[in-house]
Each structure stands twice: as C-alpha cells, then as structure tokens.
C-alpha cells in the first residue's frame, strides 16, 4: 500500500500525474504517470528503505528476526509493483519516466484482475505470518483486518 499512499502526494507536488482517458466509459480505469512511486527502480529503492527502517526500529529483536521482518516489509512494498505490473496497461516505467514502460493490462478483464489481486494479498499475508511470526494479537489480527479491509475497498 506504500506506493499507493505515496502517489497522491507526488501528484499534488506535480511530480506525477493521473489521466482520465477518452475511452474511460469503456475501460473503467484511469492511466498514470508515476515514475517515482510506481517505477521498477523506484519500487526497489522504496523496498530497500522499508527494509532499513524496519531493521532500525526493532532493536530488541534478534538480528535474524530483524532481517526476516525487514525482508517481509521490503517484499510487501515491492509487491505493489508486481500487482500493478499484472494489472496496469504498459505504463509502469522500468528506470524513469522516459524509460521503457511495462504492464500486462489485466484491467481489461477486471473480474479476473481483482480476483488475482485479492489472492496475492492472501498469499502475502500467509508469507507474513510464516516469516515474521507476529507475537501479538494486533500484529496478527490487526494486519489481517487491514488487509481484508483494503481488499474489500479494492474490489468495491
């Protein structure tokens, strides 16, 4: 969800754009210029930052636990690029705004795209439970509830 929350601020700053195409009534999706929030290299950088922050804020955990938690967060951050790559039309830049754009365009089959996104979120949650082994109910059920809410909002 990180890239999705980062993008609106970058749009307000004029660094990224949202476009409503002339065929919106038929396609039901907007197009984007998101090199800083959704590009491949940008996503790798945000993932590395997520790993670093996670590792830094867990000083009481063992090194192994900190690395596992950092990896889970980094993969969660990067998963946004993977999901967008599956669903967006070829508009996700690999390096920067002027680089090759990619995307499989599954939004053209919206029911399939939404089913796939929800399934990948569920797989990611299972990975989180296995890798992080959350120690509190909030970490277990709170994250699950947040993912359920986010998935429901995505489908709606």
Could you state, in order of their start, the residue ranges of all structural domains in the chain? 2-155
Let me know: does 117 contact 87? Beta carbons within 8 Å. Answer: yes
Q: Model-level pTM?
A: 0.76
Please give the pLDDT value at position 92: 93
Query: Which among 128, 139, 144 is positioned nearest to 68, based on CA atoms?
Result: 128
CA distance linking residue 17 with residue 95, whole number of Å: 17
Q: Write down the pLDDT at residue 150.
A: 87
Q: Each residue of 2-48: pLDDT tens digit? A: 888 888 899 999 999 999 988 888 877 788 898 899 999 999 999 99
Quote the Cα angle for 122-80-130, to 5°: 40
Residue 130 CA to residue 140 CA, distance in Å, equals 11
Lowest average pLDDT, out of 18-32, 54-68, 92-106, goes to: 18-32
Q: What mean pLDDT value characterizes the chain?
A: 90
């Amino acid at each position: 969800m990180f890239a999705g929350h980062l993008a609106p601020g970058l749009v307000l700053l004029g660094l990224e754009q949202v476009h409503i195409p002339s065929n919106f009534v038929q396609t039901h999706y907007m197009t984007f210029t998101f090199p800083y929030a959704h590009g491949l290299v940008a996503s790798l950088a945000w993932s590395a930052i997520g790993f670093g922050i996670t590792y830094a804020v867990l000083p009481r955990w063992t090194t192994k636990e900190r690395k596992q938690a950092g990896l889970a967060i980094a993969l969660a951050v990067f998963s946004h690029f993977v999901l967008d790559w599956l669903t967006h039309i070829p508009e996700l830049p690999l390096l920067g705004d002027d680089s090759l754009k990619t995307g499989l365009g599954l939004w053209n089959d919206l029911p399939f795209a939404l089913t796939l996104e929800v399934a990948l979120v569920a797989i990611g949650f299972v990975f989180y439970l296995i890798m992080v082994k959350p120690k509190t109910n909030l970490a277990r059920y709170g994250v699950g509830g947040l993912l359920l809410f986010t998935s429901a909002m995505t489908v709606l």
